[in-house]
Amino acid sequence: TGMFTYDPGFMSTGSCQSAITYIDGDKGELLYRGYPIEQLATQCDYLETCYLLLYGELPNDVQKKDFVGRVTNHTMVNEQMQFFLRGFRRDAHPMAVMTGLVGALSAFYHDSTDINNPEHREISAIRLIAKMPTLVSMAYKYSMGQPYMYPKNKLGYTSNFMHMMFATPCEEYEPNDVLVRAMDRIFILHADHEQNASTSTVRLCGSSGTNPFAAIAAGVACLWGPAHGGANEAALNMLEDIQRMGGVAKIGEFVAKVKDKNSNVKLMGFGHRVYKNYDPRAKLMRETCHEVLDALGLHNDPLFKLAMALEKVALEDEYFVSRKLYPNVDFYSGIVQRAIGIPVSLFTAIFALARTVGWIAQLNEMISDPEYKIGRPRQLYTGATRRDVQAIGQR
């Protein structure tokens, strides 16, 4: 290929150096800044994880208080944002709404538009982390035709999100510790995942020097797709389809369809570009699923039973074994979110909320790298060779 390597899908191209997230796909290991995801998910909360991803170390007490305080100061969005939101149809997909709202933030903060200025990036980071829960819950309330709930700053990050989602002016949200913890864990597990499609999009977009909020909006747009963040929604829809077909008894038939190369049906929530072993996030998610269903007295949830039976069949089937296809984080996260009361169409928006910190950390790292250049892939040209334009009557 001459001066450069042709590598569709970036199967073997390292696009950057990074010290943020480490994945060993064969072992099924995931580390944020060196810490195993299992320890972070069980011993830390989401804002500590955000601090770790952004600044490289876990915060001590004082640092945590300061960080939480800074984030909490920025939970409200400009009142104008609701007029922007109102331009959407009520039945707009929440990811369409989120792409628009996050993009719109870029028009509000004229004090911090320079992505090359570390102070501008810092305040944009805090604003984004603080405002994502507010925006996601506004998108939800709008779709329901209910009034938006303002953030309640005496609550923690995740309880506040649940408050904005589930409270109404007529009724307080009674926080349930198990559910808040489960939501917080979903945030931690989705916070970063090295150079996936949306993160690479944010880096590429940011490499032109664009507005920091615009770069994150590009990440939201990329995350929407069913091969990436949209897989959680697709996985739950798949389980519901199988359930409608007849549930556990129909697993064989469904798996046969997945294996038929002409069918174009995939087992959603299975397979990963990097993990060729059980995704460690899926293990934690399955555990959380048990906890949440127990707490709600839903241990007989037919969808969870179906998911476990489907996983078992797939893990024993030669098609999946030979291709090293294992459950990924999205296989169980939908069941957890559904039990918490999150509508299926909002799953990917919640993924975007959680991944925002990863996108920002990666953007910061790129811009601080002395070797940073605008991203500009090359191509193998396959079109016509040079030719001359004919007069319109002779074409």
Q: Which of 227, 245, 249, 256 binds ligand CMC (CB under 6 A)?
A: 227
Taking the alpha carbons at both ends of the chain, their separation in whole angstroms is 34
Does 257 participate in binding ligand CMC (rule CB under 6 A)?
A: no
Q: Which of 258, 284, 303, 363 binds ligand CMC (CB under 6 A)?
A: 258
Does 307 participate in binding ligand CMC (rule CB under 6 A)?
A: no
Tell me how far CA of residue 186 lies from CA of 107, 190, 249, 284, in angstroms. Answer: 30, 6, 30, 9
Does 276 participate in binding ligand CMC (rule CB under 6 A)?
A: no
Give residues 119-178 in contact with ligand CMC (rule: CB under 6 A): none
CB of 186 to ligand CMC, least distance (A): 12
Q: Which of 328, 356, 362, 364 binds ligand CMC (CB under 6 A)?
A: 328
* Residue closer to ligand CMC (CB basis): 71 or 255: 255
DSSP bridge pairs for 35 = 32
Element (H, E) at 23: strand 21-24
**Per-residue binder mask for ligand CMC (CB under 6 A), 14-53, x = binder:** ----------------------------------------
Element (H, E) at 24: strand 21-24
Single-letter residue type at 129: I
- DSSP state, 150? P
Single-letter residue type at 169: P
Does 228 participate in binding ligand CMC (rule CB under 6 A)?
A: yes
Residue 120 is a catalytic residue: no
The counts of H helices and E strands in the chain are: 17, 3
Does 323 participate in binding ligand CMC (rule CB under 6 A)?
A: yes
Does 93 participate in binding ligand CMC (rule CB under 6 A)?
A: no
* Residue closer to ligand CMC (CB basis): 130 or 186: 186
* Residue closer to ligand CMC (CB basis): 159 or 232: 232
> Would you state the structure tokens that stand for residue 317, as one six-digit string?
């089937």
CB 326 within 8 A of CB 279: yes
Nearest of 179, 132, 196 to residue 328 by alpha carbon:
196
Catalytic residue among 272, 299, 301, 369: 272
Q: Which of 231, 236, 307, 367 binds ligand CMC (CB under 6 A)?
A: 231
Does 266 participate in binding ligand CMC (rule CB under 6 A)?
A: yes
Does 268 participate in binding ligand CMC (rule CB under 6 A)?
A: yes
Q: CA 152, CA 134: separation in Å to the nearest integer?
A: 10
- The secondary structure of 233-302, three-state, reads HHHHHHHHHHHHHCHHHHHHHHHHHHHCCCCCCCCCCECCCCCCCCCHHHHHHHHHHHHHHHHCCCCCCH
> Would you state the structure tokens that stand for residue 319, as one six-digit string?
């098609």
Q: Which of 229, 280, 334, 358 binds ligand CMC (CB under 6 A)?
A: 229
Tell me how far CA of residue 239 lies from CA of 40, 127, 223, 272, 303, in angstroms. Answer: 29, 36, 21, 19, 7
Which residues 6+ apart lie within 8 Å of 113 measured at CB? 106, 120, 211, 212
* Residue closer to ligand CMC (CB basis): 235 or 366: 235
* Residue closer to ligand CMC (CB basis): 328 or 364: 328
Does 271 participate in binding ligand CMC (rule CB under 6 A)?
A: yes
* Residue closer to ligand CMC (CB basis): 46 or 270: 270
Does 325 participate in binding ligand CMC (rule CB under 6 A)?
A: yes
Q: Which of 159, 196, 207, 288 binds ligand CMC (CB under 6 A)?
A: 196
Residue 228 is a catalytic residue: no
Does 267 participate in binding ligand CMC (rule CB under 6 A)?
A: yes
* Residue closer to ligand CMC (CB basis): 126 or 189: 189
- DSSP state, 327? B
Q: How many residues does the chain have?
A: 395
Single-letter residue type at 158: T
Catalytic residue among 45, 192, 279, 330: 330
Phi/psi at 73 (nearest 5 deg)? Answer: -60, -20
**Binding footprint of ligand CMC on the chain (CB under 6 A):** 196, 227-229, 231, 258, 266-273, 323, 325, 328-330
Active site residues: 272, 330
